[in-house]
Structure 1
Amino acid sequence: MSYLRPLFRHPKLPTNKIGYTKKEYEGALSTLCAGCGHDSISAAIVQACYEMSIEPHHVAKLSGIGCSSKTPTYFLGNSHGFNSVHGRMPSVATGANLANRNLVYFGVSGDGDSASIGMGQFVHVIRRNLNMVYIVMNNGCYGLTKGQDSATADEGSKSKSGSVNPFQAIDLASLAVELGATFVAQSFSGDKQQLVPLIKAAIHHKGFAFINVISPCVTFNNNPGSTKSYDYVREHVEATSTVDFVPEKREIKAYYDEGTDTLVTMHDGSYLHLHKLAKDWDPQNRISAANALQKARAKGEILTGLLYVNTDFKELHETLNTTKQPLNTLTEKELCPGSAALASINAGLR
């Protein structure tokens, strides 16, 4: 089976301001499970970059390990990319950004990649206010290792093995607000009308832009009562003893107005309770954002939309006063300014 997209496209596809069709923003065909919310997020990234007329070769995609970290293969195939080790994507993103500030940086991670092994990296990339878009595709489980609970799984939910999760879930959006992230948003993978504008706003933001996206796992998150559950697979496997069977499911979508709630029916019949922020919400009030997230959590809701934004803080390059030139364009003249410059530096250290 080939995972390459066909080369043919309709000759009259619409183009953006720089003359590109959406084809130039696509990647390889996805190998994720049919109906996976991660593919919806990839499609939203494609749509946002296409509408903003960003040249694909001006984008750098970085990821760690997990189902979510496979997705950069499925969007912006003509951009730069680096798949790092588990939880260490922020370090690679920091190094790449410091070497060349002229690219648009997408960091793609998962709830395991960011909320567990990569938590320390997640904390410090926020602290440094690195100029990047950091997207967490949050499904509450480890899909590549057959569905164990991640750190964002709900307390009291059951894993695929039947064990009950005794721990409180880590709320990444609340944590990002608490740590001082300068842009914090939350969305649902099936709400394209909300997610695409949030990604565009994150790209435009000068500093660290975090988007936590609830993304249903159609195969392994079969936790009864979980907000990210999918119970059908486990029951079906027990009935047929076919341990590798993955049923094909349709993508879950949601459309609802600002300031309203909606119940999204998951593949197993359970519900996800979403609440979209009203248009008059003030995203510049950090305390209000933190309180709103906690109140929503207490009511069993997932608050979506732009939660918090702050444009007053300096991004990392401004803090460090680095050169505006990409490091690979610096010549010997800039790198070796002579003995007089060295003497001046040494004098400043005495």
Structure 2
Amino acid sequence: MSYIKPKFEHPRAPKNALGYTRKEYEGSLSTLCAGCGHDSISAAIVDACFELSIEPHRVAKLSGIGCSSKTPAYFLNNSHGFNSVHGRMPSVATGANLANRDLVYLGVSGDGDSASIGFGQFAHVIRRNLNMTYIVMNNGCYGLTKGQDSATADQGSVSKAGSVNNFEGIDMCAIAIELGATFVAQSFSGDKGQLIPLIKAALSHSGFSLINVVSPCVTFNNNPGSTKSYDYVREHNEALSSLDFVPVKEEITTEYDEIDVKMVEMHDGTFIKLNKLHQGFDPQDKLSIINALQVARQKDEILTGLLYLDTESVELNDLIGTVNKPLNSLTEKELCPGSEVLEKINAGLR
């Protein structure tokens, strides 16, 4: 069986600012289960990169192990890719980012990959504010190993086998905000209208961007009693805001009353257009969103939308003063400044 998509393309397919069609941003045919939420997230990534007119060869997509970590094969075929070992994607992303800050770094992980074996690396890549977009495809189970509960499974949720989870689930968004993430959002794989603008905003943010996406596992965790099923999320989804991402130099339009719309400027001059549905909610107020997440948990609600944004943060490369050029392009003259400079460095260490 071939998993290569046909090369046929409609002659009048829409093109972006680079002259590319959506096909240039696609990948191979998915081998995941039919109806898997992860495929919807892959499609949203394709749409976001196409609409932002990101050159595919400037994207580095990284992943670990799991159903979610297979998805980079299904989008951006013409991008760089690295499939790391279980839970170690953040360290690979950090090394690559420090070696070449010119690329757009997109990490894809799962709740098992990030909240269990890779939890330590997840924590440190956040606190270092690495300039990357980190998408967690969160289905609350280990889909590759027959559906055991993961660390994000909610307490009291019931698996397909009928067992009840007795342990408190890890809230990826709350943890990320506490650790210093500068862009935190939550969405649902079945809501592309919300997810695509969030991905576009995350890719345009300078610093660490986390998007936790509830993505139902249709095989092992889409049953009555699961809090990660399609029906449960649709019934308990509480959207904090309606979001549009407005690229720079494009006309800013809105369908909302201007009094209720907040324009949040990103580092590159682009804007997030936020319609605040919850009175008093401010995505730049860390305490308010931490409180809102706790209240939502008590009410069995799933808050979605842009949760937290810090537009004043300094990303890792700027923080430690790395060179602007990729390391592999540095010449001998740049790498060896001469004996006088080396003597001054050595003298300062004595």
- TM (norm. structure 1) is 0.87
- Between the aligned partners of 2:154 and 2:96, the Cα distance in structure 1 is 35
Cα shift at 1:271: 5.9
The Cα offsets for residues 221-248 of structure 1, whole Å up to 9 and x where unpaired, read as 155422114xxxxxxxxxxxxxxxxxxx
- Between the aligned partners of 1:346 and 1:107, the Cα distance in structure 2 is 39
- Between the aligned partners of 1:272 and 1:209, the Cα distance in structure 2 is 27
Cα shift at 1:348: 1.6
Instruction: Check conservation: 1:227, 1:271, Cα contact below 8 A.
Output: no
Instruction: Quote the residue 1:332 is aligned against.
Output: 332
- Between the aligned partners of 2:228 and 2:304, the Cα distance in structure 1 is 15
Instruction: Quote the residue 1:27 is aligned against.
Output: 27
- Between the aligned partners of 1:207 and 1:216, the Cα distance in structure 2 is 28
Helix, strand or coil at the partner of 1:62: strand
Code of the residue aligned with 2:314 in structure 1: it is: K
Instruction: Quote the residue 2:231 is aligned against.
Output: 265
Instruction: Check conservation: 2:25, 2:46, Cα contact below 8 A.
Output: yes
Helix, strand or coil at the partner of 1:265: helix
Instruction: Check conservation: 2:130, 2:315, Cα contact below 8 A.
Output: yes
Instruction: Quote the residue 1:108 is aligned against.
Output: 108
Confirm or deny that 1:177 pairs with 2:177.
yes
- Between the aligned partners of 1:344 and 1:177, the Cα distance in structure 2 is 41
Confirm or deny that 1:64 pairs with 2:64.
yes
Instruction: Check conservation: 1:148, 1:160, Cα contact below 8 A.
Output: no
The Cα offsets for residues 126-177 of structure 1, whole Å up to 9 and x where unpaired, read as 0100000000000000000010000011212233443321101111011111
Instruction: Quote the residue 2:237 is aligned against.
Output: 274
Instruction: Check conservation: 1:158, 1:222, Cα contact below 8 A.
Output: no
Confirm or deny that 1:137 pairs with 2:137.
yes
The Cα offsets for residues 272-292 of structure 1, whole Å up to 9 and x where unpaired, read as 410111322411000001011
Instruction: Describe how 1:145-224 pairs up with structure 2 within 5 A.
Output: 145-222=145-222, 224=224
Instruction: Quote the residue 1:250 is aligned against.
Output: none
Code of the residue aligned with 1:136 in structure 2: it is: V
Instruction: Check conservation: 2:133, 2:208, Cα contact below 8 A.
Output: yes
- Between the aligned partners of 1:7 and 1:19, the Cα distance in structure 2 is 17
The Cα offsets for residues 2-35 of structure 1, whole Å up to 9 and x where unpaired, read as 1100011111111000100000000000000011
The Cα offsets for residues 152-206 of structure 1, whole Å up to 9 and x where unpaired, read as 1121223344332110111101111111100000000011111000001001100
Instruction: Quote the residue 2:341 is aligned against.
Output: 341
Instruction: Quote the residue 1:85 is aligned against.
Output: 85
List gaps (5 residues or longer) in structure 2.
Answer: 242-274
Instruction: Check conservation: 1:16, 1:51, Cα contact below 8 A.
Output: yes
Q: Aligned pairs, how many?
A: 313
- Shifted more, 337-346 versus 18-27: the winner is 337-346
Code of the residue aligned with 2:231 in structure 1: it is: T
Cα shift at 1:219: 0.3
Instruction: Quote the residue 1:12 is aligned against.
Output: 12
List gaps (5 residues or longer) in structure 1.
Answer: 230-263
Instruction: Describe how 1:16-55 pairs up with structure 2 within 5 A.
Output: 16-55=16-55
Instruction: Check conservation: 1:157, 1:224, Cα contact below 8 A.
Output: no
Instruction: Check conservation: 2:159, 2:225, Cα contact below 8 A.
Output: no
Helix, strand or coil at the partner of 1:105: strand
Cα shift at 1:124: 0.2
Instruction: Check conservation: 1:227, 1:272, Cα contact below 8 A.
Output: no
Instruction: Describe how 1:305-324 pairs up with structure 2 within 5 A.
Output: 305-324=305-324
Instruction: Quote the residue 2:260 is aligned against.
Output: none
Instruction: Check conservation: 2:137, 2:215, Cα contact below 8 A.
Output: yes
- Between the aligned partners of 1:272 and 1:69, the Cα distance in structure 2 is 28
Provide the alpha-carbon RMSD of the alignment: 1.3
Instruction: Quote the residue 1:260 is aligned against.
Output: none
Instruction: Quote the residue 2:255 is aligned against.
Output: none
Instruction: Check conservation: 1:58, 1:103, Cα contact below 8 A.
Output: yes
Question: Judging changes above 3 Å, is the alpha-carbon distance between structure 1 residues 152 and 101 closer, same or farther for their aligned structure 2 residues?
Answer: same
Instruction: Check conservation: 1:61, 1:107, Cα contact below 8 A.
Output: yes
Instruction: Check conservation: 2:216, 2:222, Cα contact below 8 A.
Output: no
Instruction: Check conservation: 2:157, 2:227, Cα contact below 8 A.
Output: no
Instruction: Quote the residue 1:286 is aligned against.
Output: 286
Helix, strand or coil at the partner of 1:27: coil
- Between the aligned partners of 1:108 and 1:325, the Cα distance in structure 2 is 26
- Between the aligned partners of 1:188 and 1:224, the Cα distance in structure 2 is 18
Helix, strand or coil at the partner of 2:236: strand
- Between the aligned partners of 1:35 and 1:132, the Cα distance in structure 2 is 28
- Between the aligned partners of 1:347 and 1:186, the Cα distance in structure 2 is 51
- Between the aligned partners of 1:38 and 1:317, the Cα distance in structure 2 is 31
The Cα offsets for residues 97-122 of structure 1, whole Å up to 9 and x where unpaired, read as 00100010000000000000000000
